């Protein structure tokens, strides 16, 4: 070896003799003196001597990836090959360089190569100039509103830019992780210059309803592509079928259509496909013949895609772990081939029109470890005993079907092996009967138990109190009866929601009882709780919803009752309450069907978040207080069937969000204010029949374009019927739009029973416009 000093620095030169007269000369610039710790080219550490000396054993295989972190220093080697008689082998050994460092170098005649000598420090190679320029061009067409791409500037190393990941040896850009960067604008095809790009995440951005660019189909190195929730629209380009190396494709949460799914068959290595909410209705007729990728072994989501049939091509995906076809319009039986998916861990088929009896073959899905969801279908028959084979199942949801049988049989099937695994069991809205047994206490991991709206009878077994993991219990709308004591709640320390409306249960606890739980929701309508409000409610400081109507409570509402800081909904209706001490801020207040007396308090400014005030069917007197106008978010005001009097307060016109006003069966006087038609433009229901109102009916009411029920009957109105009443557009529509208010609650409880058959409303949610002008002194023609 010789050392040469030149104007460019210190150089070393090594002559390496080769077989058959060949010689290799290596001349390189000495940048630094390195201590070699573990060259990536050697497969084993033991290839060196104990102190990393000697001649290592060379493996003639491709370099492998060392799992430790190394810093690679770039050293320029000028290699000159001098051939005498024969060409040297493809691989040449350069050794005795830099004090014993040995490297394996692919033969080059004359040229310069970059080699990484590894030591123990962390670092990243410099990115490629063409790729840096490509990224800058890509950024130019984007709107980076949060300035998250601020590092994408100048001549810097693009491998250090936000969201950019480079290969740790070559410096090529391999990954772009730009999910949730809130980017918008256009997607520049300069990405095509990233020849080694195998990972592209543009999810959770907003590309303004643009189409997925066709050029994405030319990014043929991609293995991972996530375009979910990025505000793409239009037809998915068939060019995506060219991405033959793709393993992961996520398109969910956009506004995309597919006319033909044949391009999917080109994704021969695809393992994960999420097309949630992609409109496949136009392609659904061709799905049966489409080759649907037997390579899919991880995940397939075609939920909310407008499918009418389960695509037959899915039958080839026998290694799937997750299959999601919920929220479609699939009307068929569950295909038999589905029960042969022995690797399936989660199955979602809810919100379809699947019918026929639940098959005993369900027991073949023994790998189900997460979820089996059949809710909102038309499945019937008994739950098969083969359910006992699903020992790994944690979530089972068969609610909203037509399943029959005894509830105890279901618990017997589940308890054979998976009672310790099951965390959520939902069987609501079926035809289950029979009684609950002490076997319920075996399901120690249950966090959710929903048996509501069945025909389950008998008492609640005390063993339910041993379910220490239970967070939600719903047994509403059954035929349960008997006493519920403190024993039933002994270990329910995690309980957050208790729904038990409409049973024949009586709560019997000691006067000083303190529950072990802190509830958010408590629904005990139609229980026996009285005669006074249960004192233990004071301990429920996180309570948000309280429904205790028709619970035989009487007396005055105590002051402490209104001290709940989080309470948003209260229903105390159908009790025998006859006074209030103090009210607290709420959003929904139901106090109808009680014995409330006195005047409505004039301090509503303290409850400005109220959207529903329901005080109907009490014994309230006096005027409507002017502070009611401070409820600027109010949507429903129900004061009917009281003894209120006076005129409507002018301040009510400030409640511009009102949808429903019912003042019937009171003693209001005066005329209909004209400001109702000007200020309350969103009104859908206006009812003030059976009062003492008089005068003309103002034409301004015709400005209420959303009005569907108008009832001023049983008053003293005179004059002509406004001609414009014949042009109420909303009254000609058969569909009653609730706009998110609680109208459906009113329908269900017969509030509009005067106007329409209650059953039709509950089943159809439809109503025709209603105009009742009867029992007045009106004259003239009917419009």
Q: Give the residue with greater pLDDT, 768 vs 262.
A: 262
Q: Indicate the pLDDT class of residue 365, thresholds 50, 70 and 90.
A: confident
What mean pLDDT, rounded, does the chain reach?
A: 80
Residue 472 contacts residue 497 (beta carbons within 8 Å) = yes
Considering the domain boundaries, does residue 534 fall inside one? no
Q: What is the pLDDT of residue 474?
A: 98
Q: Which of 517, 551, 568 is the last residue of a domain?
A: 517
Judge if the upstream peptide bond of residue 531 is cis by omega within 30 degrees of 0: yes
Q: Is 25 helix (H, G, I), strand (E, B) or coil?
A: strand
Q: Which two tokens stand for residue 725?
A: 């009443």
Q: What is the pLDDT of residue 286?
A: 61
Q: What is the pLDDT of residue 500?
A: 97
Round to whole Å and give the CA distance between 439 and 419.
10
Q: What is the pLDDT of residues 228-245, one digit of tens each?
A: 999 999 999 999 999 999
Q: Pick from 191, 135, 187: which is nearest to 163 by CA? A: 135
Q: Whole-prediction pTM value?
A: 0.68
- 496, 361: one domain: yes
* Most confident among 211-225, 281-295, 614-628 (mean pLDDT): 211-225
Q: Is 16 helix (H, G, I), strand (E, B) or coil?
A: strand
Q: Pick from 602, 590, 634, 624: which is nearest to 746 by CA? A: 590
Q: What is the pLDDT of residue 587?
A: 83
Q: Pick from 605, 610, 661: which is nearest to 638 by CA? A: 661
Rg over alpha carbons for the chain, rounded to the nearest Å, is 38
Q: Which two tokens stand for residue 57?
A: 């054993």
Q: What is the pLDDT of residue 181?
A: 96
Considering the domain boundaries, does residue 740 fall inside one? yes
Q: Which two tokens stand for residue 608?
A: 């400005």
Q: What are phi and psi of 597, to 5 degrees?
A: -125, 175
Q: Which two tokens stand for residue 600?
A: 């409505």
- 471, 615: one domain: no
Asked whether residue 384 carries a pLDDT value surpassing 90, the answer given is: no
Half-sphere exposure of 530 (CA within 13 A, CB side): 17
Residue 118 contacts residue 72 (beta carbons within 8 Å) = yes
Asked whether residue 767 carries a pLDDT value surpassing 70, the answer given is: no
We report the CATH number of the domain holding residue 693 as 3.80.10.10
Residue 428 contacts residue 452 (beta carbons within 8 Å) = yes
Going 605 to 610 to 612 to 614, the CA torsion angle's sign is negative
Q: How much is the average pLDDT of 693-720?
A: 90
Residue 102 contacts residue 95 (beta carbons within 8 Å) = yes
Calculate the alpha carbon distances from 467 to 388, 491, 567 in Å: 20, 7, 27
Q: What is the pLDDT of residue 753?
A: 52
Q: What is the pLDDT of residues 620-642, one digit of tens each?
A: 999 999 999 999 999 999 999 99
Asked whether residue 53 carries a pLDDT value surpassing 80, the answer given is: no
Residue 487 contacts residue 511 (beta carbons within 8 Å) = no
The rounded percent of the chain whose pLDDT value lies above 70 is 76
Q: Pick from 661, 662, 625, 617: which is nearest to 643 by CA? A: 617
- What one-character DSSP code corresponds to residue 306? -
Q: Indicate the pLDDT class of residue 593, thresholds 50, 70 and 90.
A: confident
Residue 615 contacts residue 600 (beta carbons within 8 Å) = yes
Residue 417 contacts residue 394 (beta carbons within 8 Å) = no
- 358, 505: one domain: yes
Q: Pick from 89, 73, 102: which is nearest to 14 by CA? A: 102
Q: Which two tokens stand for residue 577?
A: 């309450």
Q: Give the residue with greater pLDDT, 633 vs 14.
A: 633
Q: Which residues contact 118 (CB under 8 A, 6 or more apart)?
A: 36, 37, 38, 39, 40, 66, 70, 71, 72
Long-range contact list for 54-63, CB < 8 A, 24+ apart?
55/95, 55/102, 56/102, 58/93, 58/102, 58/104, 60/91
**54-63, 522-531, 696-705: least confident range:** 54-63
Q: What are phi and psi of 160, to 5 degrees?
A: -100, 5
Q: Pick from 451, 460, 537: which is nearest to 506 by CA? A: 460
Owner of token pair 């080219």? 41
Considering the domain boundaries, does residue 564 fall inside one? no
Round to whole Å and give the CA distance between 689 and 681.
20
Q: How much is the average pLDDT of 368-386?
A: 89
Q: Which of 501, 517, 533 is the last residue of a domain?
A: 517
Considering the domain boundaries, does residue 287 fall inside one? no
Burial 745-776 (b: 16+ CB within 10 A, else e): bbbeeebbeeebeeeebeeeeebebbbbbeeb
Asked whether residue 36 carries a pLDDT value surpassing 90, the answer given is: no
Round to whole Å and give the CA distance between 661 and 708.
12
Asked whether residue 34 carries a pLDDT value surpassing 80, the answer given is: no
Q: How far apart are the first and last CA of the chain?
A: 113
Q: What is the pLDDT of residue 582?
A: 54
Domain total for the chain? 3
Q: Pick from 742, 731, 740, 739: which is nearest to 767 by CA? A: 731
Q: How much is the average pLDDT of 406-420?
A: 80
**99-113, 564-578, 638-652: least confident range:** 99-113
Q: Specify burial of residue 404 (Cβ count, 10 A radius: 0-12, 13-18, 19+).
A: middle
Q: What are phi and psi of 484, to 5 degrees?
A: -120, 125
Q: Is 433 helix (H, G, I), strand (E, B) or coil?
A: strand
* CA dihedral angle for residue 673, residue 674, residue 678, residue 681, rounded to 10 degrees: 60
Asked whether residue 77 carries a pLDDT value surpassing 50, the answer given is: no
- What one-character DSSP code corresponds to residue 204? S
Q: Specify burial of residue 494 (Cβ count, 10 A radius: 0-12, 13-18, 19+).
A: middle
Q: Indicate the pLDDT class of residue 126, thresholds 50, 70 and 90.
A: confident
- Other CB atoms closer than 10 Å to residue 696's CB: what's the count? 14
Q: Pick from 238, 146, 155, 227: which is nearest to 191 by CA? A: 227
Round to whole Å and give the CA distance between 318 and 344.
8
- 506, 612: one domain: no
Q: How much is the average pLDDT of 740-767?
A: 43
Considering the domain boundaries, does residue 528 fall inside one? no
Q: Which residues contact 49 (CB under 8 A, 6 or more apart)?
A: none
Q: What is the pLDDT of residue 45?
A: 37
Q: How much is the average pLDDT of 75-87?
A: 34
Q: Give the residue with greater pLDDT, 561 vs 753.
A: 561
Residue 445 contacts residue 469 (beta carbons within 8 Å) = yes
Q: Give the residue with greater pLDDT, 130 vs 732.
A: 130
Round to whole Å and give the CA distance between 114 and 72.
11
Considering the domain boundaries, does residue 727 fall inside one? yes
The rounded percent of the chain whose pLDDT value lies above 90 is 51
Asked whether residue 25 carries a pLDDT value surpassing 50, the answer given is: no
- 605, 750: one domain: yes
CA angle 137, 143, 146 (to 5 degrees): 120
Round to whole Å and give the CA distance between 643 and 191.
74
Round to whole Å and give the CA distance between 638 and 615.
6
Round to whole Å and give the CA distance between 239 and 227.
15
Q: What is the pLDDT of residues 459-516, one digit of tens each?
A: 999 999 999 999 999 999 999 999 999 999 999 999 999 999 999 999 999 988 999 9
Q: Indicate the pLDDT class of residue 759, thresholds 50, 70 and 90.
A: very low
Owner of token pair 């859908």? 684
Q: What is the pLDDT of residue 104?
A: 36
Q: Indicate the pLDDT class of residue 195, thresholds 50, 70 and 90.
A: very high
Considering the domain boundaries, does residue 224 fall inside one? no
Round to whole Å and give the CA distance between 638 and 591.
10
Q: What are phi and psi of 262, to 5 degrees?
A: -60, -30
Q: What is the pLDDT of residues 497-510, one digit of tens each?
A: 999 999 999 999 99
Round to whole Å and give the CA distance between 662 and 668.
12
Q: How much is the average pLDDT of 308-315?
A: 87
- What one-character DSSP code corresponds to residue 392? T
Q: Which of 103, 119, 135 is the last residue of a domain?
A: 119
Domain hosting 726: range is 596-779
Residue 202 contacts residue 230 (beta carbons within 8 Å) = yes
Considering the domain boundaries, does residue 726 fall inside one? yes
- 745, 601: one domain: yes
- What one-character DSSP code corresponds to residue 334? P
Q: Which two tokens stand for residue 341?
A: 């998916």
């Amino acid at each position: 070896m010789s050392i040469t000093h030149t104007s460019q620095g210190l150089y070393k030169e090594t002559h390496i003799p080769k077989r058959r007269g060949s010689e290799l000369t290596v001349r390189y610039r000495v940048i630094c003196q390195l201590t070699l710790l573990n060259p990536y080219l050697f497969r084993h550490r033991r290839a060196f001597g104990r102190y990393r000396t000697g001649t290592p054993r060379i493996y003639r295989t491709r370099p492998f990836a060392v799992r430790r972190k190394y810093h690679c220093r770039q050293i320029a080697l000028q290699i000159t090959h001098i051939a005498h008689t024969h060409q040297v082998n493809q691989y040449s050994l350069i050794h005795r360089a830099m004090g014993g460092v040995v490297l394996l170098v692919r033969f080059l005649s004359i040229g310069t190569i970059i080699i990484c000598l590894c030591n123990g420090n962390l670092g990243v190679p410099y990115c490629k100039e063409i790729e840096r320029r490509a990224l800058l061009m890509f950024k130019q067409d984007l709107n980076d509103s949060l300035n998250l791409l601020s590092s994408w500037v100048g001549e810097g190393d693009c491998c250090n830019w936000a969201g950019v990941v480079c290969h740790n040896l070559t410096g090529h850009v391999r990954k772009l992780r730009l999910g949730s960067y809130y980017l918008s604008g256009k997607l520049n095809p300069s990405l095509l210059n990233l020849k080694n790009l195998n990972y592209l995440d543009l999810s959770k951005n907003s590309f303004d309803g643009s189409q997925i660019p066709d050029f994405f189909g030319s990014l043929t190195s991609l293995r991972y592509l996530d375009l979910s929730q990025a505000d793409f629209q239009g037809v998915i380009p068939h060019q995506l079928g060219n991405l033959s190396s793709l393993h992961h494709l996520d398109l969910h949460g956009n506004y995309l259509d597919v006319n033909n799914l044949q391009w999917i068959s080109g994704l021969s290595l695809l393992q994960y496909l999420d097309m949630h909410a992609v409109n496949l209705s136009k392609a659904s007729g061709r799905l049966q013949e489409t080759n649907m990728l037997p390579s899919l072994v991880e995940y397939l989501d075609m939920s909310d895609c407008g499918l009418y049939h389960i695509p037959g091509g899915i039958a080839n995906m026998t290694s799937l772990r997750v299959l999601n076809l919920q929220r479609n319009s699939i009307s068929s039986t569950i295909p038999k081939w589905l029960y042969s998916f022995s690797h399936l861990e989660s199955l979602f088929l809810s919100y379809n029109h699947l019918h026929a009896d639940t098959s005993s073959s369900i027991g073949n899905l023994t790998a189900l470890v997460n979820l089996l969801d059949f809710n909102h279908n038309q499945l019937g028959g008994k739950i098969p005993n083969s359910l006992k084979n699903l020992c790994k199942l944690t979530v089972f949801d068969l609610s909203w079907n037509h399943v029959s049988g005894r509830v105890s049989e279901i618990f017997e099937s589940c308890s054979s092996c998976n009672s310790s695994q099951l965390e959520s069991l939902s069987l609501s809205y079926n035809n289950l009967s029979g009684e609950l047994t002490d076997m319920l206490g075996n399901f120690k991991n249950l966090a959710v138990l929903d048996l509501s709206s069945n025909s389950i009878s008998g008492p609640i077994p005390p063993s339910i109190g041993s379910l220490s993991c239970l967070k939600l219990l719903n047994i509403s709308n059954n035929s349960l009866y008997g006493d519920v004591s403190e024993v039933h709640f002994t270990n329910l320390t995690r309980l957050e929601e208790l729904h038990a409306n409409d049973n024949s249960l009586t709560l019997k606890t000691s006067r000083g009882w303190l529950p072990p739980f802190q509830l958010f929701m408590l629904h005990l309508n139609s229980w026996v709780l009285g005669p006074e409000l249960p004192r233990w409610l004071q301990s429920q400081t996180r309570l948000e919803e309280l429904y205790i109507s028709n619970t035989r409570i009487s007396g005055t509402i105590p002051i402490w009752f209104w001290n709940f800081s989080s309470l948003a909904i209260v229903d105390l209706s159908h009790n025998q309450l006859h006074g209030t001490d103090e009210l607290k801020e709420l959003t929904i207040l139901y106090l109808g069907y009680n014995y409330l007396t006195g005047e409505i308090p004039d301090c509503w400014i303290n409850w400005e978040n109220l959207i529903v005030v329901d005080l109907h069917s009490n014994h309230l007197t006096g005027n409507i207080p002017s502070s009611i106008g401070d409820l600027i978010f109010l949507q429903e005001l129900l004061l009917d069937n009281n003894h209120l009097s006076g005129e409507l307060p002018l301040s009510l016109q400030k409640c511009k969000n009102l949808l429903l006003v019912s003042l019937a069966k009171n003693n209001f006087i005066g005329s209909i204010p004209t400001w109702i038609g000007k200020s309350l433009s969103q009104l859908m229901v206006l009812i003030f029949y059976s009062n003492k109102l008089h005068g003309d009916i103002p034409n301004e009411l015709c400005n209420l374009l959303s009005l569907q029920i108008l009832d001023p009957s049983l008053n003293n109105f005179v004059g002509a019927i406004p001609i414009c009443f014949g042009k109420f557009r909303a009254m000609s529509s058969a569909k009653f739009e609730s706009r998110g208010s609680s109208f459906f609650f009113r329908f269900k409880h017969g509030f509009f029973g005067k106007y329409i058959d209650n059953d039709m409303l509950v089943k159809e949610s439809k109503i025709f416009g209603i105009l009742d002008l009867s029992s007045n002194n009106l004259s003239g023609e009917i419009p």
